[in-house]
Structures are given as structure tokens and as C-alpha cells.
Amino acid sequence: QVDLVESGGGVVQPGRSLRLSCAASGIIFSNNVFHWVRQAPGMGLEWVAGMSSDGRHIYYADSVRGRFTISRDNSKSTLYLQMNSLRAEDTALYYCARGYCSGGGCWNFDYWGQGALVTVSS
């Protein structure tokens, strides 16, 4: 059974930083691509960032590029999202998701965590 457990969410003031973690179990973490996807309250899904299994390939949405950094520690089976210069519009539930690989790469998300809520407010 694959489990993805996010942590590190909370309430933060605009301009401040926060780091999310996603601990994986039931899966060979180092063999897999992972992504962060967010969902603002009552809104749709938005892809945030993705990282290859070896960490060499990293991708970001335009909305977070330059402010957010995705990273991973394969020895700890943990994915991270460092979020700097946070804005009100970053308020969302942040999901960690495994990238299921197909002909088009690993851009399909078959395992999801329950999410970590980030609220940016003064």
C-alpha cells in the first residue's frame, strides 16, 4: 500500500516562507517521479512542480518559478517544497503526487497524499 503524507502546512504572513514535506512509504521512492499539485479552496487543480527520480530534471509552473523550490532526499523517502515570498494567491491545499509513467513521461498522478493546507494571510 502506497502512502504519501504531507506535513508543514500552516498560516503564514505574505512575504514569508514555508517548507512542505511529503513522506512516502510502500513504494521505492528513489525510482519514482513526484509532483506537487495545489487546490485553492473551492477551486480547481493547479500543477505546481515536478522532479525526476534522480533529481536532475525539475519543472515549475510559471506562477511559482523563482519563488518555490522542489527537492527530494531519496535516503529519507521524502519530497520537499520550499515556498518563499508567499502571496495570498498561494493559499491552497498542497498535494504530493506520484508521477505515473507512460509514453508521454511521468505526468499522470496515480497516488496522492491527503494534502497540507497553506494559508497566506496577514
Partner 1 sequence: QSGLTQPASVSGSPGQSITISCTGTSSDIGGYKYVSWYQQHPGKVPKLMIYDVSNRPSGISNRFSGSKSGNTASLTISGLQAEDEADYYCSSFTSSYTLVFGGGTKLTVL
Q: Give the nearer residue to partner 1 in terms of CB position, either 72 or 98.
A: 98
DSSP-assigned beta bridge partners for residue 64 = none
Q: Give the nearer residue to partner 1 in terms of CB position, either 37 or 118.
A: 37
- The CA distance from 43 to 92, in Å, is 9
- The CA distance from 84 to 64, in Å, is 9
Answer yes or no whether residue 54 interacts with partner 1 by CB under 8 A. Answer: no
Vertex 60: Cα angle to 74 and 67 (nearest 5): 95
- The CA distance from 81 to 36, in Å, is 8
Taking the complex as a whole, the smallest distance from the CB of residue 106 to partner 1 amounts, in Å, to: 10
In the set 23, 27, 30, 59, which binds partner 1 (CB under 8 A)? 59
In the set 9, 27, 47, 82, which binds partner 1 (CB under 8 A)? 47
- The CA distance from 50 to 48, in Å, is 7
Q: Give the nearer residue to partner 1 in terms of CB position, either 68 or 109.
A: 109
Q: Which residues bind partner 1 (CB under 8 A)?
A: 35, 37, 44-47, 50, 59-62, 95, 100, 102-105, 107-110, 112-115
